[in-house]
Each structure stands twice: as C-alpha cells, then as structure tokens.
C-alpha cells in the first residue's frame, strides 16, 4: 500500500526542490526580465499574457539551474563547499533532477508556444545557452561570460514577450549589455570561494588563472563598464530632455548613480562574498528596474 506523505514531509520536499534550483537567485533575473518588459512603450498586457510570461520565466530559469546541477554533480561531490548540495549529498536523486528538468523545460516551451509561433521558434536559443555554459569551466577561464550571457537574455526575453512587434528595442539591448558584464563580474567574485579547489582540479576560472587579486581587478573593470552602460538605458527611455524641468528628468539618472555606487560597494566588500554577492549585489537588479520605471514615469507610461 502506498504511503501518503505527511504535510511536513511535503513541505520539506518542496524546500529541497527550492534549494536545488536556488529559488533565491530569482532576485537577480526577475528584475531584469521586468525591466525588459517595461523598457518600451506599448499597450497594457492582459493578465493571461502576464501569466504566460511568468510560466516561461520560471520554466526557463528552473531548467537552467537543473541543467547546471546535473552537469556539475561530480565536481560538486569533490568540492567540500558544494558536497552538501542536493545531488551529491543524496537528498535528491538524479532521476528527480531529470524529471524536474524535463517538466520545467516542457512548461517553458508550452508557454512560448502559447505566446506565439515566433516565440516557440526562438525558444531553443536560451536552452542551448543554458546547456552550454556549465561546460565552459572545463575549457576556458572566460566561463564567467557564459553566465553573463544567460542572464543577458532576461531583459531581451521580457521585451520580446511584451512587445511582439519588436519596436524600440534599444533600451532592452543596452540592458542586455549591462547584464552581460554585471553578471560576469559578480560571478568572478563568487569564483573566489573555490580558487584552491579549481586550481587543484583543473577547473577553469579567471580566479584560478590570474589569482584572486588580478581577477578581482577584472571584476571591478566589468562592474565599472556595467555602471556606465545604464546611462544610455536612461537616456533612451527618458527621451528628449528639452523643455522638461530638471526635477522631472533627474530620478532615472540619480538611480544610475545609486546602481554605480552599489557596484563599487560590491567590489569594496568582495572579500566577504556573502555580503558582496547576496546582500549588496542583489539590490542592483532592483535599482535597474527602478531606473526603467522612473524613465517610463517621465514619459507618462
């Protein structure tokens, strides 16, 4: 006779799945997706379309994390820092991981199909990126840019889903460029946790290749570039400044300064990865979303 799981067991299992896909990391991708949605003017989205965008976003992100964990499970088992993760520790079976991957990918593809035929045709592109970037650390120290590319797709996906005609893509393209260098920069900081392990086990990263100090300089350069890339986002969304009072157009540009300051703080506190990565860096995406919304407010939405 089959055993009926208790509510406590179901909650515990849900927590295991949420931990497996690092649900808290949605705080990096969700603001970028929404920034892409609001980066250009357009008619208000129907509730059903918002729902499809949400399903596609969750499905794509869950697929990416599941792929990453499946590909890296043997490396994770060797690394004392990651050996406690769900697959290497045995808290989750490979079969469960594959089922989660297939279900999330199916949900993503179904949502893309419901959004429109064009979305289904381009849907394999993010999946190809997600499937490729976990392998980059086996071959190149520039693997951090693979993570950057994966997150750079978020504002582009948000823009495309909300604006089927693909008109006025400029801000979304600049947002993607920002995300590409911003995420690559903080992935370098994250890689400092595994410098010795990576070097000993032939895992490639800028930290293992250049050493912590020089790799963090590269990360700092990337974050400086990222900060400047937000300026054209604000300029394009706000539009012509002539005839507008300073108080009205200032907020998006003031928020650019806030984002730049956060990136500099992240670099200053890079030695404390938990502080820099999860308590400072997580706010950057929300400030970027605020830049876009403030710019749209100048336009009157």
pLDDT per position as a tens digit, 99-141: 999 999 999 999 999 999 999 999 999 999 999 999 999 999 9
Q: Which residues contact 185 (CB under 8 A, 6 or more apart)?
A: 144, 218, 219, 220, 222, 223, 226, 263
**Domain contains 91:** yes
- Alpha-carbon span 160 to 166, nearest angstrom: 6
**Domain contains 5:** no
* CATH code, domain carrying 282: 1.10.357.140
- In degrees and rounded to multiples of 5, residue 300 shows phi and psi of 80, 20
**Domain contains 255:** yes
**Domain contains 1:** no
Residue 240 pLDDT grade (very low, low, confident, very high; cuts 50, 70, 90): confident
Structure pTM? Answer: 0.91
pLDDT at 3 over 70: no
**Domain contains 195:** yes
- The pLDDT assigned to 83 comes to 92
Q: What domain range is 219 assigned to?
A: 25-299
Alpha helices in the chain, H assignment, sequence order = 7-20, 26-37, 47-71, 73-78, 86-89, 94-115, 117-122, 124-136, 144-162, 170-191, 195-201, 206-210, 212-238, 246-268, 273, 281-299
pLDDT per position as a tens digit, 157-168: 999 999 999 999
**Domain contains 15:** no
Q: What is the mean pLDDT of residues 38-57?
A: 92
Q: What is the mean pLDDT of residues 59-76?
A: 92
User: Which residue matches tokens 């290749």?
Assistant: 209
- Classify 168 as helix, strand or coil: coil
pLDDT at 2 over 80: no
The percent of residues above 70 in pLDDT, for the chain, comes to 93
- The pLDDT assigned to 204 comes to 95
**Domain contains 14:** no
- The pLDDT assigned to 248 comes to 80
Return the higher-pLDDT residue of 28 and 227. Answer: 227
- Alpha-carbon span 301 to 281, nearest angstrom: 28
- In degrees and rounded to multiples of 5, residue 271 shows phi and psi of -65, -25
pLDDT at 4 over 60: no
Residue 276 pLDDT grade (very low, low, confident, very high; cuts 50, 70, 90): confident
Residue 29 pLDDT grade (very low, low, confident, very high; cuts 50, 70, 90): confident
- The pLDDT assigned to 6 comes to 67
- Alpha-carbon span 139 to 86, nearest angstrom: 25
pLDDT at 223 over 90: yes
pLDDT at 1 over 60: no
Q: What is the mean pLDDT of residues 272-299?
A: 88
How many domains is the chain partitioned into structurally? 1
pLDDT at 218 over 90: yes
Residue 22 pLDDT grade (very low, low, confident, very high; cuts 50, 70, 90): confident
**Domain contains 19:** no
- The pLDDT assigned to 43 comes to 84
Q: What is the mean pLDDT of residues 275-284?
A: 83
- In degrees and rounded to multiples of 5, residue 22 shows phi and psi of 50, 65
By mean pLDDT, which of 20-29, 131-140, 191-200 is the weakest? 20-29
Residue 8 pLDDT grade (very low, low, confident, very high; cuts 50, 70, 90): low
- Alpha-carbon span 200 to 26, nearest angstrom: 31
- In degrees and rounded to multiples of 5, residue 40 shows phi and psi of -140, 155
């Amino acid at each position: 006779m089959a055993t009926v799981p208790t509510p406590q067991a179901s909650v515990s299992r849900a927590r295991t799945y949420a931990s497996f896909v690092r649900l808290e990391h949605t705080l990096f991708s969700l603001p970028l997706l929404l920034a892409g949605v609001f980066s250009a003017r357009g008619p208000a989205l129907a509730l059903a379309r918002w729902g499809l965008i949400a399903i596609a976003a969750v499905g794509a992100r869950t697929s990416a994390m599941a792929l990453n964990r499946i590909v890296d499970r043997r490396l994770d088992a060797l690394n004392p820092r990651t050996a406690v993760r769900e697959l290497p520790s045995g808290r989750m079976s490979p079969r469960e991981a594959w089922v989660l991957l297939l279900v999330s990918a199916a949900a993503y593809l179904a949502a893309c199909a419901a959004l429109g035929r064009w979305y289904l045709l381009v849907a394999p592109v993010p999946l190809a990126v997600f499937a490729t970037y976990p392998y980059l650390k086996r071959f190149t120290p520039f693997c951090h840019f693979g993570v950057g590319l994966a997150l750079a797709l978020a504002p582009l996906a948000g823009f495309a889903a909300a604006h089927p005609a693909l008109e006025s893509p400029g801000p979304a393209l600049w947002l993607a460029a920002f995300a590409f260098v911003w995420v690559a920069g903080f992935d370098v900081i994250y890689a400092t946790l595994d410098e010795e392990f990576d070097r000993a086990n032939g895992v490639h990263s800028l930290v293992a290749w250049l050493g912590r100090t020089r790799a963090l300089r590269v990360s700092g350069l990337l974050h400086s570039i990222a900060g400047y890339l937000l300026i054209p986002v604000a300029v394009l969304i706000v539009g012509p400044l002539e005839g507008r009072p300073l108080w009205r157009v200032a907020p998006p540009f003031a928020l650019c300064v806030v984002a730049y300051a956060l990136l500099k703080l992240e670099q200053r506190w890079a030695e404390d990865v938990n502080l820099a990565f999860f308590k400072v860096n997580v706010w950057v995406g929300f400030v970027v979303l605020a830049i876009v919304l403030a710019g749209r407010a100048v336009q009157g939405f």
